[in-house]
Structure 1
């Protein structure tokens, strides 16, 4: 019997990061390939769209402040939550987490998907940590304790999260994120678009960083990497929204060290051109100081692109298990050494492309992720397949 689920999230704007992409693609995949229906609630202004995500609906509400306060959402949720077999609250530290209380009162099963927002890395910002404590004790902690389950993508995420705040009690369940492998046509079109926009890369070897330009991503490590003369033939492509203060700092440092001719900034890439960048790169780099999951890593693996990541990316164990990349510490010396190891492996073994595809197919395809997610929600792990 078909079931109906609701996912409550902050925004559908893809510039907000990989979580939005992962949730949107997951909802679309479920709605197209299973008998179940997933609707979405977000806070991108007052609008509603039938069939926006396949056979599911999107309900968007006007909100106030960065906390996403919305009285109209609370009224709507109270009236409509019992239409759903379960609610998934995507994210914490937002007003909509309060809906967990309402779901509990209305006896609707609900889950909280933390998406890395409890990671201990963020506790280093003492003022923000202290500001969160009242919300933790009044809302977040209790909503998670009352939930049918708190969803983590990896055990590494759970181990970090359970020690972040006092008196953490929750039933931990696990569901990886997944993506749909791009078609050959999408990749072919993407390559043409990428080279048309960045002709200076024609025939050049390059390493790719594709993510938000944020200090937790460790982009400063890439500056040290590109500054090594032994890698001067390998250009660095930095793809992501680059109009923030941290990006400005990185650009100034690259200019100060005379490395501007070794770095290509593309801005945010999405759609076909993004897949073109992945497909044309020699290796994908993610030197993060903290990464709950790192959806860009499965994206790279899906097109047979090896990866060099740090052990602060919570899926690093899969990279080690499948030998589809190199894992390092999150510092410049170790990351540079890891890059050197990758070059040596390429010369000796011809790369890691087959291993990359194998890792993706086994761990991060939408089929795999969807089946595990439905099992968590109580769907019995029904078979799903892309049409």
Structure 2
């Protein structure tokens, strides 16, 4: 019986520059712990270095073998495996089955059509050699949006599936000290923010073209995030090609208080992505009272439903239209949109809510 036992979370890296899963997995562990669900971490590179790694307060081991050599088997309720494709995770799945430990998978968008098409032949081979079988033996699959759950079905996965968005932390000063927030109305130059990995799938090339078409007066754009495979250099070359250097700036990834300052000094958030299973940066932007422009490649129709942003086709035309509308919207209305977005995000994406829902799912579906 699962209830009262520990969940072992498994991830290949906690490096912050590896993308959202590194942070969301460790934050999920902490939220579950605070909600009464004990857990441990299995990760080959976990380090106590908050500047470069996501740090969790739970006990960690470099491999499942190390953990099983120390921890009593009867104390382990299940494994929660974050990600797919990595050989390390496949080896964990094999050992879990041999040890008769049930496991659940969070693919974190790595099975989405865009992701499947990236290095297509390598992934197709991995799918038929091991990944499909590992997933089929999972007690439960976690999707961050209905669209991701639908993709599981298209791939022939019939496992129990729970749709549960990623959670986000809410800055106490933003939520509890409204009167102390800096006013965005008085800024001479308004700032649009892109904060994510600088990666081809994030659509920055489309954003450069859209910006060149609109050339919004009184606006600048700030691109913040780690460079993935040298893509930043290509984006910078496109900015130069369209003579946009005066309105575009680039900055390395920031975390913690520095990240908060970046959000608080911005007026609009833009994620022109081709594909996201969730898009944690969108939820974070909403928590910081920013209206959002993103694409239908991400599951954010709620931006329309809650009147806090623009949700458009992942094309130059779609992004151009949204950018033109957003940058011609008054500061008053942008602030009102941001307030509506923050209210929605607090209701739906706060970690305690997410952790409680997941704990209930564990107890329901794990034998």
Q: TM-score, normalised by structure 1?
A: 0.82
CA displacement, residues 52-82 of structure 1 (integer Å, 9 cap, x when unaligned): 633x201125xxxxxxxxxxx4465477555
Give 1:179's aligned residue: 168
- Among 1, 7, 16, the alignment partner of 1:5 is 7
* Residues 57, 260 of structure 1: alpha-carbon distance in 2 compared, 3 angstrom cutoff: same
Q: What are the ranges of 5 or more consecutive residues in structure 1 without an aligned counterpart?
A: 62-72, 193-201, 381-387
- 1:359-378 deviations in whole A, cap 9, x for unaligned? 10121111221111112211
Residues 39 and 53 in structure 1, CA contact (< 8 A), matched pair in contact too? no
**CA root-mean-square deviation:** 2.8
Secondary structure of the equivalent of 1:53? coil
* Aligned counterpart, 2:41: 40
Structure with bigger RCO (C-alpha 8 Å, 6+ apart): 2
Instruction: Identify the residue that residue 120 of structure 1 maps to in structure 2.
Output: 113
5+ unaligned residues in a row in structure 2: which ranges? 49-54, 182-186
Q: 2:174 & 2:331 partners in 1: Cα distance?
A: 30
Match of 2:29 in 1: 27
Q: Secondary structure of the residue that 2:249 maps to in structure 1? A: strand
Q: Deviations over 1:14-60 (max 9, x none)?
A: 110111111111112222x222212111121799xxxx633x20112
Q: Encode CA deviations 1:228-265: one digit per residue, 9 max, x unaligned.
A: 45503200000011374211111011112221110111
1:279 paired to 2:271: no
Shift of 1:207: 0.2
Matches of 2:46 and 2:19 in 1, distance apart?
19
Aligned equivalent of 1:313:
298
Q: Is the 8 A contact 2:211 2:320 kept in 1?
A: no
Give the distance between the partners of 1:144 and 1:111, measured in 2 at CA. 8
Partner of 1:139: 130
Residues 3-23 of structure 1 show CA distances to partners (whole Å, capped at 9, x for unaligned) of: 311000011111101111111
Pairs within 5 Å for 1:1-387: 2-31=4-33, 33-44=34-45, 53-54=56-57, 56-61=58-63, 73-74=64-65, 76-77=67-68, 80=71, 82-95=74-87, 96-125=89-118, 128-164=119-155, 167-184=156-173, 203-228=188-213, 230-242=215-227, 244-314=229-299, 316-343=300-327, 345-346=329-330, 349=333, 351-378=336-363
Deviates more, 1:169-178 or 1:269-278: 169-178
Q: Larger deviation: 333-342 or 144-153?
A: 333-342
- Which sits farther off after the overlay, 176-185 or 371-380? 371-380
Partner Cα distance (1:239, 1:46) in 2? 24
- How many Å apart are 1:280 and its aligned residue? 1.6
Structure 1's 77 and 152: CA in aligned 2 closer, same or farther, altered over 3 A? farther
